[in-house]
Amino acid sequence: MLDNEEFMRDASPRELTQNPLRKIWMPCKNGHIAQRRVCMTNCPTLIVTVGLPARGKTYISKKLTRYLNWIGVPTKEFNVGQYRRECVKIYKSFEFFSPDNEEGLKIRRHCAMAALNDVRQYLSVEGGQVAVFDATNTTRERRETIVKFAEQNGFKVFFVESVCEDPDVIAQNIVQVKLGSPDYIHCNTEEAIEDFMKRIKCYESSYQPLDENLDRDLSFIKIMDVGRRYLVNRVDHMQSRIVYYLMNIHITPRSIYLCRHGESDLNIKGRIGGDSGLSARGKEFARSLRKYIQDQKIKDLKVWTSQMKRTIQTAECLGVPYEQWKSLNEIDAGVCEEMMYEEIQEHYPLEFALRDQDKYRYRYPKGESYEDLVQRLEPVIMELERQENILVICHQAVMRCLLAYFLDKTADELPYLKCPLHTVLKLTPLAYGCKVESIYLGVDAVNTHRDRPENVNVQRSTEDALQTVPGHL
C-alpha cells in the first residue's frame, strides 16, 4: 500500500507514469515508480472450518485455497491434523481423541496454537491475504479462542461449517480419503474404518454446530448435506466471493476434457492470435476428435468453444450441440496480433524482453496479460465447477489458465504449461487433486510452445531473444 504519511506531506497531485510491464498508470517520484502492493482484501481474512471428521472440510479447504491463489489472492492452508501427525509420530487408535484423554487434549490444543502462530506469521509478516485454518473446531469455546486471536491480530474471521448426516456420503469420504491417511498406513480396511467411526463418536458428544441465533454476530456459511442447502450469515465482499464459489462446487464424479482447436493457417506460419480457419491437418484433427468422443460414450457431454473461427470449425465437425463463450477467446496480443515472434523482436524488442521477464503479468500494448485472462476466465471456472462431463475446445493461453486452476500451478508456472495441438487432456477431479491423462490423437501439427529463453535482458542479442522460438514456415 502507498505510504499515507508521505502522501499527506505532499498533497499536490503526483506525476504518473505507465509501468512498461503491466501498462498501468502509477505514481512517479524523481523518475522512479512508487512501489505498491496489490491487495484484493481490505484486511487479512482467516477462514475457519467447522465440522465432524469425514465431512469434507479438507476437501473444501484445499479447493478454496487453490481457487483463491488462482484468482490472485495469496492464500495458504493450515491443516491442524498435519501438525498433530508431526507432533505424534505414531498414531495408535481413536482413544487419542477421547474427551477423557487429558494428554491427547493437551497435545491437540498445542497443535492448534502452533498452527495459529503460523497463521499469524503468514498473514502479518509474509504478505498472505487469506489463511485457511483446517480443523474440526467443533466447540464454541475453541471458536471463541480463534475469534479472540483474530481480533488481537486485526484479522477478519469467516467460518465454513460442513454438516452431513448422509451415511453413504460419510462412508464414501472415509474410503476415498481417510484410508489413505498416514494414520492408517499399517491397518487393513476393516480395522481402519472401525477405528475412524469411533474417532467420529469422540467428537459427537461435544459438537456444538454454528447456530443462527447464538452465532448471529459471526460471519459464516453452513453447508448442509454436500450442498443441498446453505445458510449464509453476515458476509463482506471477499466472503461473498467465497460463498459463491462454495455454492458452485460439487462431488459428483465427472471428467473435464480440454483441447485446443485444430491446427490453424496462422499456426503453420508461426503467427500469434488472429482469427484464421483450420489447416488441412486441423480439419483432420477435428474428425479424429469426433471419433474419440464417440468412442468414449460419455454420458450427457456438453461442449463449449470460444467465439473464434478455429474452435467453432473444430466443434462443427463433432455433430453435436455446442455453446460459444466469448470469455474463452484467445489472449488478446494487441499490437502484436498476427505477428511472428521474429517480427515482434524486430519491431518491439523491449516488449519482447519484458514479456520474457514476467510472462504472467506482462500486458501486450493495447492487449491482455495472462493475469487479465485469469480474471476473464473466472466465470468459466465457476460454471465448470457446476457442470458434470464437459469438453472445452479453446486456445493455448486459455487452456494454460484452466489447466493451472485444476492442477494448482503457480503464476510463474502457468504461462509455460505445455498444451500441444491435437492432444486431449482428460481431467478427473479426485478428493484432494486432479488426475490428468494426455491423449494424442495421431494427427501431426506444428509446435507452438516457446520456452523461456536463458537471456531475458533488454540488451540481449536477436539470436538470444529468438533462442526458443519453435520452427514454422
* CA distances, 98 to each of 66, 82, 95, 414 (Å): 33, 19, 5, 45
Please check whether residue 259 is in contact with residue 318, taking contact to mean a CB–CB distance below 8 angstroms. no
Question: Would you call 134 a catalytic residue per the annotation?
Answer: yes
Annotated active-site residue in 77, 134, 263, 385: 134
DSSP 416: G
Please check whether residue 169 is in contact with residue 179, taking contact to mean a CB–CB distance below 8 angstroms. no
3-state SS assignment for residue 437: strand
Beta pairing partners, 440: 423
Name the helix (H) or strand (E) containing 122.
Answer: helix 102-124
Question: Would you call 202 a catalytic residue per the annotation?
Answer: no
Annotated active-site residue in 261, 263, 284, 368: 261
Would you tell me how many other CB atoms lie within 10 Å of the CB of residue 18? 12
CA–CA gap between residue 228 and residue 219 (Å, rounded): 20
Question: Would you call 300 a catalytic residue per the annotation?
Answer: no
Question: Would you call 395 a catalytic residue per the annotation?
Answer: no
Annotated active-site residue in 330, 351, 356, 368: 330
Please check whether residue 143 is in contact with residue 137, taking contact to mean a CB–CB distance below 8 angstroms. yes
Grid cell for residue 442 = 495421431
Grid cell for residue 368 = 491482455
CA–CA gap between residue 188 and residue 351 (Å, rounded): 59
3-state SS assignment for residue 183: helix
Would you tell me how many other CB atoms lie within 10 Å of the CB of residue 285? 28
Grid cell for residue 8 = 499527506
Q: What residue spans of 387-436 are helical by DSSP H? A: 396-407
Could you tell me which of 269, 272, 235 has the C-alpha nearest to residue 446? Answer: 269
Write the DSSP assignment of 343-373 as a string of letters.
HHHHH-HHHHHHHHH-TTT---TTS--HHHH
Q: For the chain, count helices (H), then strands (E).
A: 16, 15
Please check whether residue 66 is in contact with residue 98, taking contact to mean a CB–CB distance below 8 angstroms. no
3-state SS assignment for residue 76: strand
Grid cell for residue 100 = 477423557
User: Counting beta carbons within 10 angstroms of the beta carbon of residue 237, is it exposed (0 to 12), middle (13 to 18) or buried (19 or more)?
Assistant: exposed
Size (the chain), residues: 473
- Sequence-separated (6 or more) residues with CB below 8 Å from residue 139: 206, 207, 208
Annotated active-site residue in 77, 111, 161, 164: 164
Task: Cite the active site residues.
Answer: 134, 164, 261, 330
